[in-house]
Amino acid sequence: MQISSHIGSQLVDLCSALLLLTCFAIVAQRRLSACVDLFALQSAFLVLTAALVAFLTGNHHIYIAAGLTGLIKVIIIPRVLKKVIARLNVKRELVMNVNVPAGLLICGALVMLAFFITQPILPLGFLLTRDSLAIAFTIVLIGLFTMIARQKAVSQLVGFLVMENGLFLGATAATYGMPLIVELGVFFDVLIAVLIAGIYTNRLQDAFDSVDTSHLTVLKE
Amino acid sequence: MGLIEVVVLLIAPLLAGGLSLIIHRSALLHAINLTSLSLLVASEIMITRTVLIDGPFTALGQFVYLDALSAFILFIIGAVGLACSFYMRSYMDEQIARGVIAPGRLNLFFFLFHMFLLAMVVATVANSVGVQWVAIEATTLTTTFLIAFWRRRESLEAGWKYLILCSVGISLALFGVVLTYYSSLHVLGDVSEALNVTQLLPVADRLNPPVLKLAFIFILVGYGTKVGLVPMHSWLPDAYTEAPAPVAAMLAGVLEIVAVYAILRMRMIADHALSPAFTGGLLTLLGFASFVTAAFFILIQHNYKRLFAYSSIEHMGVAMIGFGVGGPLGTFGGLLHLMNHAFAKSMAFFAAGNIHRRFHTVEIGQVQGLATAQPWTAMALMIAGLALSALPPFVSFVSEVQVLSALATEGVAGLRFTNSSSLVTLALTDQFCSLWLTGLFLLCAVLAFSGLLYRLTGMVWGVPPEGIVRGETWTLGHLPIIVLAAALVGFSFLLPQPIRQLLDQAMQILLLH
């Protein structure tokens, strides 16, 4: 039992680390469609982590959340985003507010910051998923950073979704999932948010002939 | 107990929203809208009665929790919502007549409006902090298209900014909710009710302080984005400017207050495990940041809707200072200020909507002679402006003075707390500090007052530009303006007994928890 829980903990750590790794890949990737693919991959790792936690702890309601993640974040949302990108005239992020090497360095610093902040609260957690909470916080921070560093509406959206993945990992790691009604509500909100944002990118494309949010400067002081 | 009222409260906007999608006649749509809002207000009155007589209660199997604080917020939602419905009757019809919106899109407007109302009601009555989060995110999703309803470039930009900034802010709040659950699981065990306020409050003092501290910061920043507290406010002036007038009135009057309510709920829980000085200090800090920044930005505005937007930030700052300083006076003043702001600001946006329809501009410089062109609107604008400048005899004067005197007498809890331990604040004794802050408060109040009134008087007097129709015909849209104005003046002389009781009990809840 001791050994199996030790291996289980290692496996969960490995999966969470893979999630973090895809985060770095997203920060380094300029092509919009590749960013979406990486997001789908990250969500797949998230499903794996959640399923692993569900299996190891016997909390069956996590399977439901994992299944929904698979359906919404691995299949539906990437498809919606791919459709949006297909309609756009720009496929690559040409101008970034922060260049790739600097961005990666900042993300490295964010990892340290997140581990530093979560240090006092980690001992409270379950042994199995203790480090995952810190990783989840890191992913939230990197998602936030991506939204600031990128200018294209689609990559900002990917940043937002990465944040959501971090939150879901956090909820799974820290508490073995939220109450089911909250979990369902969150999924619903995220799905609607992406659909709405998809409609927006189309309208922005029509109105500004670009989805570069740096063009959104009509409203100023 | 109170079950029927709660069901009506939730069903009325849901049903009205559904009906709005299938009905095409504009008169019928408005009739449904008014009926639904009247039902909402009626059930709120019944709920208030129940809460005042029998105290807090839960309904629908622990899903709904209502006490004096949530009843008070519900009252504001209903009052402002009903006022908006009356105003929309003439406003939307004229927009359709002018061809600004296609008649078919009226369905969408009313559908989104009712879903927005429903989301706010759920956020207010939800027992679970998690469900409350879901509902507040739903308000973002329903309002973003209402803000971008004109579909111009500027409105698309404002809607996109609002969607992205608020969603991100709200995501941070979700992390706070996760952390709250994290701390409550250790005390309550793995039950699905571990996020319910009714479950959390009795055991709140046993929750883990460091976790709760982190959770409160995340929730404050997250919902603070929704309130529009500085420095998370950058979406707010754009959204208020581009949104149709009734939507702007709802955003400024109600949505901000629901977000403040969510912060206060979380604070009630956090205060047990942490010291009130910690949470109060943070609230005061953000309150002052908003108040000071907005007071200066009010001075440089040349767009009257942006002027009102910054004035919103300013007043939310004042309310936050009230809650942060705490004590009976500060808390009461903060609550009263929320209501006054809701009434005055919705009135201001109604007036702004009337002006925009006549002058077709949002530039203050291009609007002149309002007293000649639109006498009723000019009066409404002046009354709203005076109330927003917190002058007597308006009730906002009363609440702002309450907050100010609480600040002067109680001082800032957070600073008092750090005094003993920190070397940096050693020189800042209690009195010295609260003296400075009181001075700063007064200075900013004067700045905001002069900035606001200087701009508004410029619009009211003078000769209207060529080609502007003079005179104003009476419409149904003028009714809420008069009622709100009467409330703003009347409440400062005589606060109706039920409202006073509600405020008193809500204050007790926030003080004792």
User: Which position has the higher pLDDT, B296 or A210?
Assistant: B296
Give a yes or no: residue B52 inside a domain. Answer: no
| Contact (Cβ atoms closer than 8 angstroms) between residue B311 and residue B252 | no
**B486: distance to nearest CA of chain A, Å?**
34
Which residue stretches of B189-326 are H helix? 197-203, 209-227, 236-242, 245-250, 256-273, 276-299, 304-325
Q: Is residue B491 part of a domain?
A: yes
- Using a CB-CB cut-off of 8 Å, the residues of chain B touching A153 are 160
Q: Which of A167, A179, A221 sits opposite B130 (nearest CB)?
A: A179
Search chain B and give the residue with CA nearest A212.
Answer: B157
What ranges in B68-152 are assigned the alpha helix state H? Answer: 68-97, 105-125, 129-147
ipTM surpasses 0.90: yes
For residue B336, the model assigns a pLDDT of: 96
Is the separation of the CB atoms in B345 and B390 below 8 Å? no
- From the number of C-beta atoms within 10 Å of its C-beta (0-12, 13-18, 19+), residue B506 rates as buried
Taking 90 as the threshold, does the pLDDT of residue A151 lie above it? no
Model confidence, pTM: 0.94
Q: Which residue of B has its CA nearest to A208?
A: B153
- Model confidence at A1: pLDDT above 60: no
Q: Which domain holds residue B319?
A: 275-513
Q: Determine the pLDDT at residue A152.
A: 82
When mean pLDDT is compared across A2-16, A86-100, B203-217, B476-490, the lowest value belongs to A86-100
Cα–Cα distance for residue pair B2/B6, rounded to 1 Å: 6
Q: A118 near A134, Cβ under 8 Å?
A: yes
Do A121 and B211 lie within an 8 Å CB cutoff?
A: yes
CB within 8 Å: B130 and A124: no
A chain contacts of residue B297, beta-carbon cutoff 8 Å: 221
Residue A178 to residue B195, Cβ atoms within 8 A: yes
What pLDDT, in 10s, does the model give residues A114-134? 999 988 888 877 777 778 889
Is A167 close to B178, i.e. CB distance below 8 A? yes
3-state SS, one letter per residue, for B148-163? CCCCCHHHHHHHHHHH
What phi and psi, each to the nearest 5 degrees, are found at residue B181?
-65, -40
- What's the structural domain count of chain B? 1
Q: How far apart are CA B481 and CA B345, in angstroms?
A: 11
Instruction: For residue B306, tell me if it sits in a domain.
Output: yes
Rounded (10°) CA dihedral B418, B424, B430, B431: -160
Q: Which chain A positions have a beta carbon within 8 Å of B181's beta carbon?
A: 171, 174-175, 178
Residues B358 and B373: their CA atoms lie apart, in Å, by 9
Cβ–Cβ below 8 Å for A208 and B183: no
Domain residue ranges in chain A: 2-215
Burial bucket for residue A116 (CB in 10 Å: 0-12, 13-18, 19+): exposed
Query: Of B262, B263, B265, B240, whose CA–CA distance to B253 is shortest?
Result: B240
Spell out which residues of chain A touch residue B148, defining contact as CB-CB under 8 Å. Answer: 200, 203
Q: Is residue B211 part of a domain?
A: no
Give CA–CA dist B256/B499, Å, rounded. 20
Comparing CA positions, the residue from A43, A37, A40 lying closest to residue A15 is: A43
- Of all helices (H) and strands (E), which one includes residue B66? strand B64-66
Round the average pLDDT of chain A to a whole number and report it.
87
Number of other residues whose CB lies within 10 A of the CB of residue A213: 19
DSSP, collapsed to helix, strand or coil, labels residue B174 as helix
CB atoms A124 and B183 under 8 Å? yes
Size of interface A-B (CB pairs under 8 A): 129
Rounded Cα–Cα distance for residues B157 and A143 (Å): 22
User: For residue A180, which residues of chain B lie inside 8 Å, CB to CB?
Assistant: 192
Could you give the CA distance from residue A128 to residue A125 in angstroms, rounded to a whole number?
8
Residue A2 has pLDDT above 60, yes or no: no
In a domain, B377, yes or no: yes
Query: Over its length of 513 residues, how does chain B's per-residue pLDDT go in tens digits?
Result: 678 999 999 999 999 999 999 988 889 999 999 999 999 999 999 999 999 999 899 988 889 999 999 999 999 999 999 999 999 998 998 888 888 888 888 999 999 999 999 999 999 999 999 999 999 999 999 999 999 998 888 899 999 999 999 999 999 999 999 999 988 888 887 677 889 999 899 898 899 898 999 999 999 999 999 999 989 999 999 999 999 999 999 999 999 999 999 999 999 999 888 888 889 989 999 999 999 999 999 999 999 999 999 999 999 999 999 999 988 999 999 999 999 999 999 999 999 999 999 999 999 999 999 999 999 999 999 999 999 999 988 999 999 999 999 998 877 655 554 444 444 444 445 666 778 889 999 999 999 999 999 999 999 998 888 888 888 888 888 999 999 999 999 998 999 999 999 999 999 999 875
Pairwise CB contact (< 8 Å): B164 & A160: yes
Q: What residues of chain A lie within 8 A of the CB of B160, using their CB?
A: 153, 200, 204, 213, 216
Mutate to test the interface with B, among A59, A113, A116, A121 (most CBs of B within 10 A): A121
Q: How many helices (H) and strands (E) does chain A have?
A: 8, 0
